[in-house]
C-alpha cells in the first residue's frame, strides 16, 4: 500500500494473510518452532499486528503475553520510550511490572522495516533486566536495513526475508 499512513510511505500489511486459517496456523507453528526449547516465559507483542503473532506464539510456548502499546492504552503503571519512525516520532509503553529478572523474553512484531519500533521496545524490555531477550518478525524487509538499529548481540529471526 502506498502513501499509508503518510505520503511517501510504502506500507506492508499482513492482515490479508492472517484471515486465512491455514496460513495463520502455519505462521503460528513456524514461530513456535524457533523458540520451543529456549525456555521462553514471556512474549511481548508490539501494537497492533504484533499482538496476533505474539499471542499465538505465547499460547504455543505456554508463556505469558505482554502488549507493547501506544500511550494511554494500558491501565497500570507503565514505562515508555520515544522513537523516530519514517514518518514522525512515536511513543510505546509496557506495564512496569510486566517483565522480571527471571524471564526469558521474545519480542515479536509482524514486519521489520526501519527497526525503530523494535529498538524502542527492546530498550524497554532490557531495562527490566530479563535473563535473555530474543527478537522475532514474520517478515523482514531487508532493503530497509532495520537490523542495523537492533543490538548486535541479540538473536533476531524472521520467517521471511524480503
Catalytic residues, by residue number, are 49, 86
- Report H helices in the chain: 15-18, 21-35, 50-61, 116-126
**Whole-number Å distance between alpha carbons of 124 and 44:** 11
The CA distances from residue 51 to 2, 6, 101, 102, 153, in Å, are 24, 23, 23, 23, 25
Report angle CA 152, 81, 127 to the nearest 5 degrees: 60
Amino acid at each position: 500500500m502506498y502513501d499509508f499512513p503518510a505520503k511517501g510511505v510504502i506500507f506492508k500489511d499482513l492482515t490479508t494473510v492472517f484471515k486465512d486459517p491455514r496460513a495463520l496456523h502455519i505462521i503460528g507453528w513456524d514461530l513456535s518452532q524457533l523458540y520451543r526449547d529456549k525456555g521462553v516465559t514471556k512474549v511481548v507483542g508490539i501494537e497492533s499486528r504484533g499482538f496476533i503473532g505474539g499471542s499465538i506464539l505465547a499460547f504455543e510456548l505456554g508463556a505469558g503475553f505482554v502488549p507493547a502499546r501506544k500511550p494511554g492504552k494500558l491501565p497500570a503503571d507503565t514505562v515508555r520510550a520515544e522513537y523516530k519512525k519514517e514518518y514522525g516520532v512515536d511513543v510505546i509503553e509496557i506495564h512496569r511490572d510486566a517483565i522480571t529478572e527471571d524471564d526469558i523474553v521474545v519480542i515479536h512484531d509482524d514486519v521489520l522495516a526501519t527497526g525503530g519500533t523494535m529498538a524502542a521496545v527492546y530498550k524497554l524490555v532490557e531495562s527490566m533486566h530479563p535473563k535473555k531477550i530474543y527478537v522475532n518478525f514474520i517478515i523482514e524487509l531487508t532493503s530497509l536495513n532495520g537490523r542495523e538499529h537492533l543490538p548486535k548481540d541479540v538473536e533476531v529471526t524472521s520467517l521471511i526475508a524480503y
